[in-house]
Chain A
Amino acid sequence: MSDNNHSEINKQEFLNCDPEIDYKNLELLKSSILDGGRIIPGRITGMLPWKQRKVSNAIKIARFLALLPYTDHH
């Protein structure tokens, strides 16, 4: 039940913001990863699937460029 509410809130936030999803947009990407650098799954963020895929790919590019970490063990 609480999971449902959590995803609803995030869904509204992301739908209303509509930021440009790019590997350079670090604020958006940092809100889509956990502390350890792992990507938050779509069923928890409640993002639309195409947005979640874009965000995931942007995070992977940012990781390659060392703008984001792969893990917290660095």
Chain B
Amino acid sequence: MKHYEIVFLVHPDQSEQVPQMIDKYINIVKNGSGFVHRIEDWGRRQLSYPISKVHKAHYVLMNIECTIDVLREIENSFRFNDAVLRNLILCRSYAITSQSQIMKDRDNAKKKIAENELSSAIT
């Protein structure tokens, strides 16, 4: 089965539905006897240019291994879902499970904020 990397942008007002959407897509892949190698929720990010008049969007990254039927099903669900602003599907030659650079930067930023809070609480 082929490996795919999918990134999709969700409208920020529908951020609370993102976990449900992720579960739905994982179920689609598992029902089609595929594998999910990586799921990353980058959270709400500032966009470099407004898309559909919104300046922030909720990013989700998925690395999956599935058949073409499952991929078409996921593509269709993106097309008919108004909450999904944009989606990108890339082909990969192998499964990627390591953390992406964007997720690492987010974790580092969170750590820094936590450290600053600690140091300010001590002093």
Which A residues lie at the B interface, using CB under 8 A? 22, 24-27, 37, 61, 63-70, 74
Known: A61-B88, A64-B86, A66-B9. A74 touches B100 (CB 8 A): no
Whether B49 lies near A25 (C-beta < 8 A) is no
22 A-B residue pairings within 8 Å (CB atoms): A22-B100, A22-B101, A24-B61, A24-B100, A24-B101, A25-B101, A26-B101, A26-B102, A26-B105, A27-B101, A37-B48, A63-B48, A64-B88, A65-B88, A66-B51, A66-B86, A67-B48, A68-B48, A69-B49, A74-B48, A74-B49, A74-B50
Q: Are A66 and B101 in contact (CB under 8 A)?
A: no
| Distance, CA A13 to CA B53, complexed state (A) | 39
Question: In the complex, A25→B102 CA distance in Å?
Answer: 7
Question: With A22-B101, A24-B100 given, is the CB distance from A65 to B7 under 8 Å?
Answer: yes
Distance of A17 from chain B, by nearest CB (Å): 13
Q: Which A residues touch B105, using CB under 8 A? A: 26
**Do A66 and B49 contact each other (CB < 8 Å), given the known contacts A22-B101, A24-B102, A26-B102?**
yes
A66 near B48 with CB under 8 A, answer yes
Interface membership of B114, Cβ < 8 A:
no
| CB closest residue in chain A, given B50 | A74
How long is the Cα–Cα vector from A66 to B86 in the complex, in angstroms? 10
B66 within 8 Å of A by Cβ?
no
Give the interface centre of A24, A25, A64, A69 by most chain B CB atoms within 10 Å: A24
B101 / chain A contacts, CB cutoff of 8 Å: 22, 24-27
| Chain A residues within an 8 Å CB radius of B90 | 61
B60 to chain A, nearest CB (A): 11
Q: Check A66–B57 contact: CB distance below 8 A.
A: yes
Distance A55 CA – B108 CA, assembled complex (angstroms): 25
A24 to B90, CA, bound (A): 13
Q: Which residues of B contact A27 (CB under 8 A)?
A: 101
